[in-house]
Every structure is written in structure tokens, then in C-alpha cells.
């Protein structure tokens, strides 16, 4: 029987998220004090050797990004941005972290800022997350009153200011460069990469953009050391991961477990199995921009290295379970409607392509067995061309769920 291993969520549901006193009493801000007593480089080194990978979807090594940003020219202003947009369908773990322990994110951001020498930070948050915004705002005010934010933090000579910026509800604004455009007050259109934010980010300055869960890991890494962090998880995905499980399971929710847990253990031991008690039909791993896997992937170890070997993705940790009595065609249509709606319209292949593949998908219910197979083939081919010619990662996203549906579920879809 697999159990949760709570590091990020260890105080969630235990301390009052509105109280800095309770956060401090549970050991909060100790890591910041420790970080401030050492050098900036020491913080970057510790995060580097922890092997922490970004939890926002791409799994980029966090330490490397910190190092890249720390390598900015002397005197250049740099920023830390917390990506709290959480727009991926099926993902709700950042919200749980922010609502249950907002000081952990504030502390993680100050530590990150100290590491790279940034003086200003922003939390770019999904506008509908009213409760998260309220709790974070309260935590920021308390941190200012207690001397953890502002000028000359705890007499260290280091100064850092932090602000919240709510987004306006665009999925694409969760993409780091589009996020920065939005943060600068512009329309949420993507920028061309490179340059990456670490070289040229907010207002052209080096910027560290990290996901909520990534930043929430920093206090424990600094407090307990990188070797401790590496003692859980797998070699290339150290630490824990917070998964958001939804769909046809008895106990949907957020579960923090060691990276590398087996998919079926997550579903059966933590989410208490499927609603109808039958083996699941499919799991959509990583949200709308993720990959479908069949029941034969039950033994899949949820870490970057194993997932890659088997052609699956982890994304931000969304696990959407499809029960044996649910049809896949409506799910596919819903995903394609989502991309059509969220396409920003800047480039033709995605603007027209997302509309076209969604409309073609609406023809499935009327089509017979063989026509469904050719229809799926046509949609997949179209999505593949779209991925090659689109300007940003959104246009490259529909191919992942579609291709894995085709690989594993063509016959299921043809017969549904």
C-alpha cells in the first residue's frame, strides 16, 4: 500500500494559512534565515545539486535556470516571477498549495531572489483563483510587517519586493514568454524563443520564471540540503511530485508522492480506484496537452526518464482517469474545442488548424467504423503539420493527445 510523502503539503490542513505565526512555529522562514547567512552562489549551488526539475510542465532543471539568470551582467535588474496561472485542464495542485500554505511560496520566492540577486518579484496568478489571491496577499502583507520582505531583509542588506498580478484567463498566458508580455501590460501573444527569459525577460531584463510547486520546494532544499532532497524520488526526477487526480476515481484530489510512483498505485492506493470498480480504460497524463495511456501502462513509473522511454508525458502532474464505461470521442472533442478556444490567432496554421480539427472531430458520431479510422488519421496528420508550422507551443500541443489516442485507441474509437 503506497502512502503519500508530504513535503510541500506537510503543513497543509494543519496550520492556519492566514497566520504567519503558525507558519513560523512550524519552522517557516528558517530556510530564508539560513540562505541569507550564506552567499548568493551557495543558494544556486544547493538548488543545482538537488536536481530539482521545474514542476510547471517542461521539467527543466531549476538550478540551471537559476545559474543562467545569476550569470547576468553586474548591475542589471533581474526579476523572479512565480507562474501561478495553472491553466492546464485537470491541474489544480498549485491552487491547493497556495490556499493551504501561501507563506511557503513567498519564502521560496525570496530565497530564489536572493540566489539570483533579484530585487523585485511578481506572482502571476490565474484571475479566478480568488481565495489564493486573498491568502497570498495576506501572506505578503504579513511578510512585509515581519521584515521578510522589503528593504534590508532581516538586516542582511538584501532587499526584495513582491507583488501579485492576476491574469485575465488565457491559457496561453501560462506559457512563460506570453506571461511576461501580459505582465508588461500587453496582449497575451507569445514571443519568439530564444532569447529565453533568463537572458531577456521582463522589460528586457534577465528573469527567472518558475512554477508554484517548483518554488515551494526551495525552503526545504535550503533547510535540509540537496542530498536530503535527492534521497527521495528517482535519480533524474528527485523529490516528490504533487499530482492532481480527477475523472472516474472514487477519491479525486491532490496527492504528494515520491516521484517514480507507479501509475496504478496512485490510482488504486491513493485515489481509491475507479468509480465502477472496473479496470480503467485510459488515463490522460499531463492534461489537455498531455498523452493518453492504456491500461497496459498501469506499471508506468511516474518520473521523467521512464515516461519518456514509453512515449508519455508528466506535464504539470494532471492525471485524468477514464473509466471503462466512458467514451473517448467526447473527451477528444472537448480537448480540441479547448485548443480552438485558446488559440490566440496570431499565426495562421494554429488559428485555422485548431478550428478545422475540432470541426472534423464533430463528425465522429455520424461516421462508421472504417470512416472513423480514416478521420482520426486525417486529424492526426493535420495536427502534425500544424505542430511543424505553428509559432508557439500551443499549436504544437494537440498532436500529443491525438497521436497517443491513435496509437493506443484507434480500434476503441472506431467501435465506440
Kindly list the residues in this chain that would bind ligand FMN in the complex (CB under 6 A).
Answer: 54-58, 60, 62, 83, 85-88, 171-172, 174-176, 209-211, 214, 393-394
Whole-angstrom Cα distance, residue 391 to residue 77? 29
Q: How far apart are CA 379 and CA 383, in angstroms?
A: 6
Smallest separation (angstroms) from ligand SF4 to the CB of 390: 4
Q: Which does 85 bind (CB under 5 to 8 A by kind): ligand FMN, ligand SF4, none?
A: ligand FMN
Residue among 255, 309, 198 at smallest CA distance from 6: 255
> Closer CB to ligand FMN, residue 8 or residue 376?
8
Residue 392 contacts ligand SF4 per CB under 6 A:
yes
Among 390, 404, 408, 409, binds ligand SF4 (CB under 6 A): 390
User: Which of ligand SF4, ligand FMN, none lies near 351, with the C-beta cut-off 5 to 8 A by kind?
Assistant: ligand SF4
Q: Decide: is 350 part of the binding site for ligand SF4 (CB under 6 A).
A: yes
Residue 56 contact, options ligand SF4, ligand FMN, none, Cβ 5-8 Å cut-off depending on partner type: ligand FMN
Q: Which does 83 bind (CB under 5 to 8 A by kind): ligand FMN, ligand SF4, none?
A: ligand FMN
15 vs 98, which CB is nearer to ligand FMN?
98
Q: Helices then strands (H, E): number in the chain? A: 16, 9
Kindly state the smallest distance separating residue 360's Cβ from ligand FMN, in Å. Answer: 22
Exactly one of 395, 398, 400, 401 binds ligand SF4 (CB under 6 A); that residue is 395
Give the Cα separation of 121 and 162 in Å (integer).
5
Nearest to 173 by CA among 338, 401, 388, 342: 342
CA dihedral 292, 298, 299, 305 (to 10 degrees): 20
Residue closer to ligand FMN by CB (options 123, 322) is 123
Q: Which one among 53, 346, 372, 382 touches ligand SF4, defined by CB under 6 A?
A: 346
Say if CB 273 and CB 249 are below 8 A apart.
Answer: yes
Q: Out of ligand SF4, ligand FMN, none, which partner does residue 55 contact, by CB within 5 to 8 A per kind?
A: ligand FMN
CB of 341 to ligand SF4, least distance (A): 11
Shortest approach of ligand SF4 to residue 391 CB, angstroms? 4
282-285 and 318-322: which strand pairing? antiparallel
Using CA atoms, how far apart are residues 379 and 139, in angstroms rounded to an integer? 47
Alpha carbons 279 and 324: distance in angstroms, whole number: 7
Task: Give the residue, chosen from 54, 190, 219, 290, that forms a contact with ligand SF4 under the rule CB under 6 A.
Answer: 190
* Residue 344 interaction partner, one of ligand SF4, ligand FMN, none, beta carbon < 5-8 Å per kind: ligand SF4
- Which helix (DSSP H) or strand (DSSP E) does residue 96 occupy? helix 93-100
Residues 6+ apart with CB under 8 A from 297: 263, 283, 310, 312
Measured from the CB atom, the residue of 62 and 178 that comes closer to ligand SF4 is 178
User: How far, in Å, CA of 91 to CA of 112, rounded?
Assistant: 24
Q: Does 172 bind ligand SF4 (CB under 6 A)?
A: yes
Dihedral, CA atoms, 169, 85, 267, 406, nearest 10 degrees? Answer: 60
According to DSSP, residue 292 is labeled: E
3-state SS, residue 286: coil
Contact residues for ligand SF4 (CB under 6 A)?
172, 190, 343-347, 350-351, 390-392, 394-395
Amino acid at each position: 500500500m503506497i502512502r503519500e510523502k508530504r513535503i510541500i503539503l506537510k503543513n497543509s490542513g494543519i496550520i492556519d494559512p492566514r497566520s504567519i505565526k503558525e507558519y513560523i512555529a512550524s519552522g517557516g522562514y528558517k530556510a530564508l534565515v539560513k540562505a541569507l547567512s550564506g552567499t548568493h552562489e551557495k543558494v544556486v549551488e544547493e538548488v543545482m545539486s538537488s536536481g530539482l526539475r521545474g514542476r510547471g510542465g517542461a521539467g527543466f532543471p531549476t538550478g540551471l535556470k537559476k545559474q543562467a539568470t545569476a550569470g547576468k551582467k553586474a548591475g542589471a535588474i533581474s526579476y523572479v516571477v512565480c507562474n501561478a496561472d495553472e491553466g492546464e485542464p485537470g491541474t489544480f495542485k498549485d491552487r491547493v498549495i497556495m490556499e493551504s500554505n501561501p507563506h511557503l511560496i513567498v519564502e521560496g520566492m525570496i530565497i530564489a531572489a536572493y540566489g539570483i540577486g533579484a530585487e523585485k518579484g511578481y506572482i502571476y496568478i490565474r484571475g479566478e483563483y480568488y481565495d489564493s489571491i486573498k491568502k497570498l496577499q495576506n501572506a505578503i502583507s504579513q511578510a512585509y510587517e515581519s521584515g521578510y520582505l522589503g528593504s534590508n531583509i532581516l538586516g542582511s542588506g538584501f532587499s526584495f519586493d513582491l507583488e501579485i498580478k492576476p491574469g485575465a484567463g488565457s491559457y496561453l498566458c501560462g506559457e512563460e514568454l506570453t506571461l511576461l508580455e501580459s505582465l508588461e501590460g500587453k496582449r497575451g501573444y507569445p514571443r519568439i524563443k530564444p532569447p529565453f527569459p533568463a537572458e531577456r525577460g521582463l522589460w528586457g531584463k534577465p528573469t527567472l520564471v518558475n512554477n508554484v510547486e517548483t518554488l515551494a520546494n526551495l525552503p526545504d532544499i535550503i533547510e535540509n540540503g540537496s542530498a536530503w532532497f535527492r534521497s527521495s524520488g528517482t535519480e533524474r526526477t528527485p523529490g516528490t511530485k504533487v499530482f492532481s487526480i480527477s475523472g472516474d476515481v472514487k477519491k479525486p484530489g491532490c496527492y504528494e508522492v515520491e516521484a517514480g510512483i507507479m501509475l496504478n498505485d496512485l490510482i488504486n492506493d491513493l485515489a481509491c480506484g475507479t468509480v465502477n470498480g472496473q479496470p480503467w480504460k485510459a488515463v490522460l497524463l499531463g492534461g489537455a496537452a498531455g498523452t493518453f495511456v492504456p491500461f497496459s501502462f498501469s506499471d508506468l513509473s511516474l518520473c521523467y526518464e521512464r515516461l519518456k522511454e514509453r512515449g508519455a508525458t508528466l506535464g504539470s502532474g494532471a492525471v485524468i482517469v477514464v473509466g471503462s464505461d466512458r467514451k473517448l470521442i467526447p473527451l477528444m472533442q472537448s480537448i480540441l474545442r479547448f485548443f480552438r478556444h485558446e488559440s490566440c490567432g496570431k499565426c495562421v496554421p494554429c488559428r485555422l488548424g485548431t478550428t478545422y480539427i475540432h470541426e472534423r472531430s464533430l463528425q465522429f458520431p455520424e461516421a462508421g467504423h472504417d470512416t472513423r479510422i480514416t478521420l482520426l488519421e486525417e486529424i492526426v496528420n493535420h495536427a502534425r503539420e500544424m505542430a511543424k508550422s505553428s509559432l508557439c507551443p500551443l499549436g504544437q500541443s494537440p498532436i500529443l493527445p491525438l497521436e497517443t489516442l491513435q496509437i493506443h485507441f484507434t480500434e476503441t474509437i472506431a467501435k465506440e
